[in-house]
Structure 1
Amino acid sequence: MSTVDLALGSTVLATRQDGTDIEPVLSPRPYLHPVRTKSGTVVTEERPADHLHHFGVSVAVPDVSGTSFWGGRTFTPDRGSVLLDNHGRQEHVSWAARGDDHHVEVLSWTDTGGAELLREERTTRVHDLDGHTWVLEMSVRLRNTSGRDLSVGSPATNGRPGAGYGGLFWRAPHAPTPPVCTGPDGLEGEQALHGSRAPWLALSGSADGAPWTLVFLQTGPDTDPWFLRVREYPGVGPALAWDTRLPLPADAVLRRGLRTAVHDGHAADPDALAEAARSLD
Structure 2
Amino acid sequence: MVQKGVGKISAFDLRKNGLGFEVHAGEQLIALYRASEELPRTESPKPCFAPLYTPSGGLITEYRPPDHAWHTGLYFGWVHVNDANLWGGPWYLPEKEKYEYVADSHGVQRHDSFATFAIDGDEIAVAQDLTWLDAGDQPMATEVRSFRIAAVPGGFRYLISTRIAPTGTRLVMGASRAARYSGLELRMGPPFADADHYCSEGRQGHENIMRQRARWVGARGAEGGFVAMMDHPQNPRHPVTWFTRKNLLGAGLLMEEDLEIAAGEALELRYAFLVLDEDPGPQSVEALYADFVG
TM-score, normalisation: structure 1: 0.89
Give a deviation string over 1:51-100, Cα, whole Å, max 9, x none: 11100111100000120000000111212211012000011112110024
Structure 1 equivalent of residue 146 of structure 2: 123
Q: How does 1:1-281 map to 2 (within 5 A)?
A: 1-8=18-25, 11-79=28-96, 80-85=98-103, 86-100=105-119, 101-130=124-153, 132-145=154-167, 147-156=168-177, 160=178, 163-175=179-191, 178-206=194-222, 210-222=223-235, 223=238, 224-230=240-246, 234-265=247-278, 267-280=279-292
Letter in 1 for 2:101: L
Distance 2:95 2:145 in 1: 36
Does the CA-based 8 Å contact 1:97-1:105 persist in structure 2? yes
Shift, 1:20, TM fit: 2.0
Distance 1:185 1:150 in 2: 32
Does the CA-based 8 Å contact 2:157-2:274 persist in structure 1? yes
Shift, 1:250, TM fit: 1.6
Distance 1:14 1:220 in 2: 27
Structure 1 equivalent of residue 9 of structure 2: none
Does the CA-based 8 Å contact 1:261-1:274 persist in structure 2? no
The farther-off stretch of 28-37 and 271-280 is 271-280
Does the CA-based 8 Å contact 2:36-2:111 persist in structure 1? no
Distance 2:79 2:158 in 1: 24
The answer for unaligned runs of 5 or more in structure 1 is none
Distance 1:237 1:23 in 2: 24
Letter in 1 for 2:213: R
Distance 2:263 2:135 in 1: 19
Shift, 1:220, TM fit: 4.9
Letter in 2 for 1:90: Q
Letter in 1 for 2:149: V
Structure 1 equivalent of residue 10 of structure 2: none
Shift, 1:205, TM fit: 1.3
Distance 1:225 1:122 in 2: 22
Instruction: Give SS of 1:20's match.
Output: coil
Distance 1:126 1:46 in 2: 21
Letter in 2 for 1:272: S
Cα distance change, pair 249–182 in 1 and its aligned pair in 2 (3 A) = same
Percent identical: 24
The farther-off stretch of 99-108 and 166-175 is 166-175
Letter in 2 for 1:97: T
Distance 1:69 1:154 in 2: 11
Instruction: Give SS of 2:221's match.
Output: strand
